[in-house]
A and B are shown apart, each in its own frame.
Chain A
C-alpha cells in the first residue's frame, strides 16, 4: 500500500533492543495497590466503595464521572484500607484521590459480566458492545488515556469509514506494544474486529513502524482471519505514532487543526487498547492491568511486564532487579513525550506505557548555547511550525506574537528540542507559553463572564428602576384621577376609594 508524505519528524536512537527480546512477564500482585480515580482524560471517577470493605478482583471501585470519564476497577482482591490523596504519576507532584487496597493474596475475581464468546457476526448490538467497553473502563493505552468508548461512540456524530490501529510505537525504549503484537496477535485482531463492528467501518488499517518486522509478521498472520484488515509498515520516524500523523501517512487524510480525526471519517485506536477490548468482551474482564516496558541504562533487568494497575513504581522496579547505583531520572512513558515521575511511590496507571530509569549520558542534555539558526527545528517540526522564531518571541515575552505564528498548534512532541544542536529547550518554552496563554484565555473568559453578569445586573436594575418609575407615574395619574372624581363624589366615598387604592 502506498503511503502519504508526512512532513517533519526526527530519526532517534531507539534503544529498543534493551527490552525488545524480553517476553512479557506477569508481575505477581503486590501487597498493596494504590488506584487513582483519575487515570484518564476527562473528569475523575467517583468512588463507590468504602474504607474497610472487601473488594473482588475486577470489582468497580470508581464510577465514571460526569461528561468524559471512565470506570476504575480493583486490580486484585482485598480490603480497601483508605480512599485518600496519594502521589500520582504526574510531574507536578500533585496528589490525586486514590483507592488503596491491601491485597488478600487470593486474587479472587468479583462477579464479571457474562462473556460473549460467539464468533463474528457478534450476537450483540454496537451499542451493547460500547456499553461493555465503557463498563470495562478501557482508555487509550498508547499513553493518551482517552476513554475508548467515547471514541467508539463517534459513529453517532460523524460518518466514520476507517479504523486505524496504531502499532507504530514510535517512542524510544518502549517495546510493550511490539511484544504484545508478537505474543497476542490473535487477541489484538479479535479486539480490532470487535471495534470495527462497533464502528461499522469499511476499512481497517493496522500501522506498524518498520523497526518491528516480527510484530508485522505476527499481525499479518493473525489478520488473515479478516480480509478487510490491512497491516501496513510505516517509516520509523518520530512522531509517527501521533494519531493525526499516522492517519495522514496511511490514508492521506489531514485532520483539521483543533479537531478530532473523526472529522475526516477515521478513528484511531492503539493495539493494546484493541486487546483490552477483546478481554472485556470475550472474558468479561475490565481493564485492571497493562503491559509496561521497564527500561533504561539505570535498570538492572529491562523487561516488559504485565503489571496490575496501582502497583507502585518502587515494587515494579524491584521486580526488575532494582536500579543500578547511578544517578538516574525516572520517567513515566517514553523519553520524548513522557514526564518525570515525582516519586517511586507513584502507581502504574492505565496510561503508563513505560517506566524508564535514564542516566545523564542517555539523556545527553548538554549545556545550552546560542541558536545558530540551523533551521533543524523547523524541518523537524511535524506541526509545521517555526520553533526558533516562536522561542525568540516567547523569550522576549511576546506570547501573543508566538500565538499568532501557531504556538498553540504545537503537539508537544519534543522533536525540536531533540534535534537542536544548541540544546535549546524549545518544547519547554512552548508548553510554558501555551500554559500561560490558556490561563490568560481562561482569565479573559472569566473577566468577560463577570463583565456580562455585571452588565446584565445593571440592565436589570435599570429596567426595574424604569418599571418602578412607570408604576409610580401610573399611581400618580390614578391618584389625580381619583382626586378629580372626588370633587364629583361625596367626602366619605372618596376617602374609602383612596383607602382601597392604597391597600391594593
Chain B
C-alpha cells in the first residue's frame, strides 16, 4: 500500500545539497589556505580563526533575530564560507577587529539585511573587503613579507598575539608591498613598470605564492588546483573563471605589448593579487552571479575587464573586489537579457519555421 503521502514528481533527487556544495568549496580552498597560514605564521592563523568565529557568531545572531531555523542554516556552511573567503582576502597580519568588522559587514549588512541566503545582491566577502579598504586604508594595506612557520623570521605565538591584538605595531622591517602595489607606487614616482618588474618576484615564484599579499590569495597554483577540483566536480562551470581570466589576460597582454613601461605584463596580472581566488571562488559565487551560461560569460568578462581597468588606470593597485561588486549590481539586468533559447523557438521567442511543409493545409 502506498504509505507515503501523495506528492508531486519527480520521485528521485540528486544527492547534492547546499551544504555539500559549500563543504566542497571549502575543501577546494584548503590547500591555498593552509599554504597562506604557513607562509604568514601565527598572526595569520589567529586572524583567520577570529574572522571565521565572528562570521558564524553574527550568522547565529541574525538567524535568531530573524526567526529562521538556526541549526540548519548555521550548518549549511554558507556563513563559514563567507568568513573564510573574507579572511583569505585580508592582509595576513591585520588586527583582530578588522576580521570582526569585516564579518559584521559581510554577514549582517551584505547578507542578512539584503534578505539572507540566496537573496543578497552583492558578494558578502567582497562588500566587506571594499568597505574595509575604504574605511581603514592603512590597516588594509599593511602587507608583510613571508615569514613561514618554522623559519627564523616567523613571530612567536606571543609576538603574534601582540600584533593581532594591536598592542604592538608590526615592525618596519617585516612590512613589504605586494607586487601590484610596488608597481603602482613606483610608477607614480616616475619609474617605468618594466624596470620595477625586474626587481619583483619572477612568475614562477608568483605562481607558487612565496610573496607578500593577502592571507590566501598568493598561491596561484594551489588556487588553480582547487578551482580545477570544483570544475571536475561540476560545482562550478568553466564560464566565469575562463571568461574572467581570458579577458584580464588579453587586456594585460595587449596593453603591455603596446606600452611595456606603462602596463604590467600578463603573468603579473594573472598570478598576483586576487585574480585566481576571484576567478574560481569569488566571481563564481552562485547567489551573486548570473544563472545562465551566456550571462556568466558576460559577467566573468566584465569582472576581468574592470579589474584590469582599475589596476592599470585607477587609483588602487588591486581592483578585483570593486569589479566583483560592480558586476554584481548588473546581475539582475544580465539575467533578464541573457536567457537561453527556448526549445523549438527562435531567440526572439517565435516558434521555429517548420522545415517540411504540410502537404495539405488544414
Contact = CB atoms under 8 A, between A and B. Distances in A.
Contacts of B343: 7, 244-245, 254, 257, 382-384, 409, 411
B293 interface: yes
Contacts of A244: 343-344
Interface residues of A, number: 81
A115 interface: no
Interface stretch (A117-125, A182-190, A363-371): A363-371
Contacts of B21: 372, 374, 421
A382 B344 CA distance: 11
Which 8 pairs, one residue from A and one from B, show the smallest C-beta to C-beta distance?
A414-B10, A257-B344, A265-B356, A428-B8, A375-B291, A263-B354, A327-B3, A256-B352
Given A172-B12, A257-B351, A363-B12, A384 B18 contact: no
A265 B355 contact: yes
Interface of A is mostly: loop
Interface string A151-168: 000001111110000000
Contact of B20 (A10, A245, A421, A427): A421
A377 to B, nearest CB: 8
Contacts of A337: 9-10
Contacts of B349: 406
B358 A336 contact: no
A443 to B, nearest CB: 24
Interface stretch (B32-40, B114-122, B137-145, B201-209): B114-122
Contact of B342 (A253, A373, A409): A409
Contact of A386 (B78, B117, B339, B362): B339
B188 interface: no
Interface string A387-425: 011000000000000000110010100100111111101
B290 interface: yes
Given A375-B286, A386-B292, A157 B12 contact: no
Given A91-B6, A389-B335, 8 more contacts: A157-B358, A160-B356, A256-B354, A371-B118, A384-B345, A420-B13, A421-B14, A427-B9
A256 B356 CA distance: 11
Interface in A329-349: 329-331, 335-342, 344
Interface of B: 1-4, 6-18, 20-21, 72, 76, 78, 116-119, 237, 286-293, 296, 335, 339-345, 349, 351-360, 362
Contacts of B17: 366, 421-423
Given A257-B351, A327-B4, A263 B358 contact: yes
A364 B13 contact: yes
A433 interface: no
Interface of A: 7, 10, 12-13, 91, 156-161, 172, 244-245, 253-259, 262-265, 327-331, 335-342, 344, 356, 358, 360, 362-367, 369-375, 378-379, 381-386, 388-389, 405-406, 409, 411, 414, 417-423, 425, 427-428, 431
Interface of B is mostly: loop
Contacts of A425: 8
Contacts of A383: 342-343
Nearest to B350: A257
B236 to A, nearest CB: 9
Nearest to B13: A364
Nearest to B341: A384
Contacts of A386: 291-292, 335, 339-340
Most B CB contacts (10 A, CB to CB) among A13, A344, A422, A428 go to A422
A181 B326 CA distance: 57
B13 A370 contact: no
A255 B354 CA distance: 7
5 contacts: A158-B357, A328-B4, A360-B4, A366-B17, A409-B345
Most A CB contacts (10 A, CB to CB) among B7, B12, B237, B292 go to B12
A340 B2 contact: yes
Contacts of A259: 344, 351, 354
